[in-house]
Structure 1
Amino acid sequence: MSIKSQISNLTRHSFIYTISTFIQRAQGLIMLPLYTSPRFITDQSAYGDYTLIYTFMAFMNLFYLYGMDSAFLRFSYAKEYRRQDVYKTAFLTVGLSAFILSLIIFFASSSVSYVVFGPGDYEFFVKAAALILLFDTFSNLPYLILRVEEKSITFSTIRIIRFITELLLNLFFLGWLNLGVKGILYANIIAAVFNILILLPYQFSYFKGRFEKNILKQLLLFGLPLIPNSLAFMVVEVSDKYMMRLLLDKDTLGIYSANYKFGSILLFLVVAFRTAWQPFFLKVAESEDAKKIYSKVLTYFSLLSILVIILVSYFIQDIVNIPLPGSLQLLGKDYLSGVIIIPIILTAYFFYGLYVNFTVGIYIRKKTKLMIIFTGLAALVNVGSNIYLMPAFGIMGAAFATLLSYVIMATTIFIANQKVYPIIYEYGRLAFLLILLILSLSVLYYLEPGFLTRIVIVLALPLLLILSGFIKQDEIKALRSIIKR
């Protein structure tokens, strides 16, 4: 298969995953008019509670999977094992450990709630989180089956069904019954159970496999070394929220978290790309043109990401003020002071996307033990910079700490990747894109252009890319062919 065909295939799957990922993760954005309205969630502090319980779940999720998801993907392509045996072994192991872990959290909810929230009656939140974590674990591995089999449409359809279910339940528990954060958790629990039932038919053939101790050993040898890496990554991803409760207050946390969701728009793209990327690069690793493909993918990913950053950053102030029915707006008025962090968070997730791109050599050369170095250093930088910047600069300090952490992560893995699996990237084109991003955001922050000026700047970008020779004629033709498909 040619380079263009390979990239076209990756683009198609990534696009489909992007749609489902965006729709699923957009729930937080879609519900923001309710979440940030005092009629439904009383104040910023209550929204801070919502942030803390979901931060806890994101952190605990790595202990529920302990690298077995990545290990399953890795050994699904191994010729020496039957895929059904790999799945059965992983599923039974993860299922049992998840059940035990949820029992521990459930019965220790009083102690856990004090650690997460501080003084107060939050035991229900923790017990609900234990159930959600358990049910979501039973859904994670079936989704991997669909990824391995490249059933991106089925994958996306089920994700969308889950999203619609949870959205409707949110509207019922929060909008109709007015249960606040408890209503959000009720909706999540019911949707998670429904999701398990939908995914059952896709596992039947895999349940015919056998539990193999040798496979379990290989899965653990691959997956367990990823735990320190995942733990460090979680520190980068969520420590700012927890530290903000300690160093500032829950009101500030609520403002920061609500705006952070808009900054996470680029994360939708990165997660969708990552979903398609790992199976893709493992599949083409033996191809003669593999490194050329990886190089092109990085350039196209960077182009798309930077255009998204500029577009969202230039118009986010207008978007969040859009009036909605019921005297609501996309972001509650009490939260608008945090909009300034959004371009910074968007840029941070671009560097996370670079990190995802650079994992290719680490996985192919089976050097996953090195990943703790990249994420560990980033975690240390994150905690240190948050301690220093957050008290002095508030939410902007936390945003810059996040950006700095992802820059460190991307830079260090790039250096290591080039040593174990050298790839000649298109450095000139990448430098052009970075300069374009820096100049665009500098104009936005320091010159504060008006609405019409911002429209002119954004519309001029495609013309600039073509006239500068950045985009080549054969790439335009290839893009047209992909769109037609």
Structure 2
Amino acid sequence: MRDKIKSLSKDTLIYGTSTVIQRFLAFILVPLYTNIFSPSEFGIQANLFAYIAILNVFFSIGFESGYFKFASTLEIGDKKDNFSLPYFSIFINSFILSAVLFIFPVNLAPLFQLAPERAPILLRYSALILFFDAAVLIPFAYLRLRRRAKVFGTLKVLSITINVSLNILFLLVFRWGIEAIFLANAIASGVTFIIFLPLIFKNLTFRFNKQLYKEILKFSIPLIPAGIGANLVQVIDRPILRYLTNEQTVGIYQANYRMGILMMLFCSIYEFAWRPFFLQTAKEPNAKQIFSKIMTLFIFAACVLFLFFSFYIENIVKIPLPFKGYLLGKAYWSGLYIVPIVLAGYLFYGIYINLMAGIYIEKKTKYLPLITGIGAAMNIIVNFALIPKFGITGAAYATLFSYLAMMIGIYMITKKFYKVDYEFSKIYLIFFSTIATFIIYSFTAGTFLHEWYFKILYIVLFFVLIFAFKIITLNDIKSLRGIKKPAKQIVPDEL
């Protein structure tokens, strides 16, 4: 079991390094935006990017996951068949949808809560972003499946570097408005697509494997409503918040929500390595035992991050910048109190990611629309119920409750056909220790015990509770050290 956990840890480290760099570079944009734009202007771009996130599902039509499923085993067709069918499907679909956005921006402006005079340029840039991002989904999946983590990471970092550099150029040098954010993103996505062209052409075939296409459709179509639900959970709060309040409130909410990026980053790093890992480990005789131990270790790591960033977020955002302002613009500090709620929501989402293994291993993706639908419904209902009374706090709790509902839902369904005996006693004790530490910390608010150097003691207290009761042992920690290079079940091709 230890070798398998080391294998996941090795992949996580490789993907993690590049993803940390990507997210760090992207995070640079938060102080840039919040020190340049007013909350109202920042709210406009936040709201439109929320719509872009929802539309991504309609552009990808679930075929990225279909590619992972069938290309990982080559049950039907060869490597080129499994690459070409999902690639052409996404490409053609994306071209049509992008053309509609490009041709009819003014007509579509009300759907995106945009003023008609701003719609043409913003929606056309958005169409380009959506098209290019969809066109590289399968190539990036190809690299992940073949564990080409270094190439994958390099291209991701290059794309975000171009994006950040152009943002700095357009905003600080040219002094353009929020349109520059979308233009920079579109150019970066376009460059990534061009770089991938040799790999794309190398793996394309114009053969049509009817049986493979039917199986990919059967697997992928249920993922469309599931993807819509998952994305609604992540971003629907912005449009609802805009509908019930104003762009300024959306801007403050978005900026502070982004402060939870560090927990999201942890989950993203983990998911990149987790999906190919569990698909390739599923046939191991002790696979379920491995998954159980990994769940415990994941929750422990996530709770450590939750406590650290909940305690230190005020210190972090008030770090002064060399040019002017702070890590988070002062106009946005009024929303810092929602950050622990956002962190907790992403923690539940991370557990949900772990629980997805059974769904994919047993090909039960038909349940995903139900699970994510529950999460989306919970999000929408709680947003409309709480935002009028509690503002951005209500929106943050809506996201937390929706991820919690999805976590419970996927566990209740998955255990019926892929039961894993998780270490619930240890998991409960980890959560108890986390909550107890957070409550003790909260009671000291407004006192000298809230100084940054005392906050370290609260985190030490958490570790004392964990190790004193042997919830996590040193052997558990050592098993995460990626000492041995994982065996490759799929031999990578040259890029």
Give TM-score, length-normalised by structure 2. Answer: 0.93
Range with greater deviation from structure 2 (17-26 or 146-155): 17-26
Q: CA deviation at 1:483?
A: 10
- Is the contact between residue 125 and residue 182 of structure 1 (CA under 8 Å) also seen in structure 2? yes
Gap regions ≥5 residues in structure 1: none
Aligned match of 1:55 in 50, 61, 64? Answer: 50
- Is the contact between residue 257 and residue 339 of structure 2 (CA under 8 Å) also seen in structure 1? yes
Residue equivalent to 2:102: 106
- State the identity as a percent: 33
CA distance in 1, matches of 2:263, 2:413: 25
Q: CA deviation at 1:271?
A: 1.6
CA distance in 2, matches of 1:359, 1:299: 15
Structure 1 residues 8-39: Cα deviation after superposition (integer angstroms, max 9, x where no partner): 111111122222223323344211222011xx
Paired residues for 1:271-282 under 5 Å:
271-282=268-279
What code does the residue aligned with 2:289 have?
Answer: K
Aligned match of 2:63 in 42, 61, 68? Answer: 68
Structure 1 residues 262-284: Cα deviation after superposition (integer angstroms, max 9, x where no partner): 11321111122112111111111
- Is the contact between residue 55 and residue 238 of structure 1 (CA under 8 Å) also seen in structure 2? yes
Range with greater deviation from structure 2 (225-234 or 398-407): 225-234
What code does the residue aligned with 1:5 have?
Answer: D
Range with greater deviation from structure 2 (385-394 or 430-439): 430-439
Structure 1 residues 407-443: Cα deviation after superposition (integer angstroms, max 9, x where no partner): 0100010011111101100111111111122223323
Structure 1 residues 70-92: Cα deviation after superposition (integer angstroms, max 9, x where no partner): 00000112333212211111111
CA distance in 2, matches of 1:262, 1:273: 19
CA distance in 1, matches of 2:93, 2:330: 44
* More relative contact order, 1 or 2 (CA 8 Å, 6+ apart): 2
- Is the contact between residue 75 and residue 81 of structure 1 (CA under 8 Å) also seen in structure 2? no
Paired residues for 1:46-445 under 5 Å:
46-76=41-71, 77-123=73-119, 124-208=121-205, 210-445=207-442
Residue equivalent to 2:450: 450
Range with greater deviation from structure 2 (289-298 or 75-84): 75-84
- Is the contact between residue 437 and residue 461 of structure 2 (CA under 8 Å) also seen in structure 1? no
Q: CA deviation at 1:118?
A: 4.2
What code does the residue aligned with 1:49 have?
Answer: I
- Is the contact between residue 264 and residue 349 of structure 1 (CA under 8 Å) also seen in structure 2? no
CA distance in 1, matches of 2:70, 2:485: 35
Q: CA deviation at 1:482?
A: 4.2
Alpha-carbon distance change, 216 to 388 in structure 1, aligned in 2, over 3 angstroms: same
Residue equivalent to 1:472: 473
* Equivalent residue pairs, number: 480
CA distance in 1, matches of 2:438, 2:483: 30
- Is the contact between residue 76 and residue 212 of structure 2 (CA under 8 Å) also seen in structure 1? no
Residue equivalent to 2:492: none
Alpha-carbon distance change, 322 to 426 in structure 1, aligned in 2, over 3 angstroms: same
CA distance in 1, matches of 2:189, 2:474: 47
Range with greater deviation from structure 2 (256-265 or 439-448): 439-448
User: 3-state DSSP class of the match of 2:415?
Assistant: helix
- Is the contact between residue 356 and residue 410 of structure 2 (CA under 8 Å) also seen in structure 1? yes
Range with greater deviation from structure 2 (181-190 or 239-248): 181-190
User: 3-state DSSP class of the match of 2:76?
Assistant: coil
Give TM-score, length-normalised by structure 1. Answer: 0.95
User: 3-state DSSP class of the match of 1:286?
Assistant: coil
Range with greater deviation from structure 2 (429-438 or 419-428): 429-438
Q: CA deviation at 1:350?
A: 0.7
- Is the contact between residue 28 and residue 261 of structure 1 (CA under 8 Å) also seen in structure 2? no
CA distance in 2, matches of 1:224, 1:481: 36
